[in-house]
Amino acid sequence: DTAVSQTPKYLVTQMGNDKSIKCEQNLGHDTMYWYKQDSKKFLKIMFSYNNKELIINETVPNRFSPKSPDKAHLNLHINSLELGDSAVYFCASSRRAGGFRGYTFGSGTRLTVV
Amino acid sequence: DAKTTQPPSMDCAEGRAANLPCNHSTISGNEYVYWYRQIHSQGPQYIIHGLKNNETNEMASLIITEDRKSSTLILPHATLRDTAVYYCIVREYGSGNTGKLIFGQGTTLQVKP
């Protein structure tokens, strides 16, 4: 069983569209994260939720709205997509905020805006 | 911003030990050193972490200098599957920590046959 799964794996869409990426973890972790990896391969944290509560919001445009219906799921909705949103988006989870044992990452969603 | 400095790239012969250095001269007393790697097109993978003492697990060994200003990740017998970008990260652990991992540029390790 995949520990952290993201869907879809690939997403190609036009500028101006609205799209969602879903993430689920079956590890029983309390904390989940969204990271963005751009074309230069820099990995930057975007959001983090702990038990459905937003605890990290890293100056991300408000076109990006995370939602956590329960602690096993963290979705990312993006409105009015722009070319610069093209990137690979990684979901991750940790046992709790602080993640002593480290993070478990999903395999990523490659978003291409055309 | 990342608090670590790593060489951008390294090569290693298959079967030999790969030693990946990391400088973290501004590390504070309650910050741990973490190592992750990212194999092409996959999500980052946790390798090992440590505070002061050297650590070893099934994947690698972590050697931290006595002053804690630098560390070395050792892959004892590198294989072609170890070709990846290796990230050294320092992070505080403790109550109230929001658990933010900050990735730098990392070291691209190329294992050659």
Q: Summarize pLDDT for A31-63 with one digit per residue, the tens.
A: 999 999 988 888 999 998 888 888 888 878 999
The residue ranges of chain A whose pLDDT is under 70 are 1, 98-101
Which residue reads 């956590």 in tokens? Answer: A68
Between B29 and B8, name the one with better pLDDT.
B8
Backbone torsions φ then ψ of B82, nearest 5 degrees = -85, -5
**Residue in A50, A100, A105 nearest the CB of B44:** A105
Q: A55 near A66, Cβ under 8 Å?
A: no
**Residue in A90, A99, A104 nearest the CB of B99:** A99
Residue B2 has pLDDT above 80, yes or no: no
- B40 SS3 class: coil
Q: DSSP letter for B58, please.
A: S
Residue B95 has pLDDT above 50, yes or no: no
CB atoms inside a 10 Å sphere around CB B88:
28
Q: Which residues of chain A have a CB within 8 Å of the CB of B87?
A: 43
By the CB < 8 Å criterion, does A64 face chain B? Answer: no
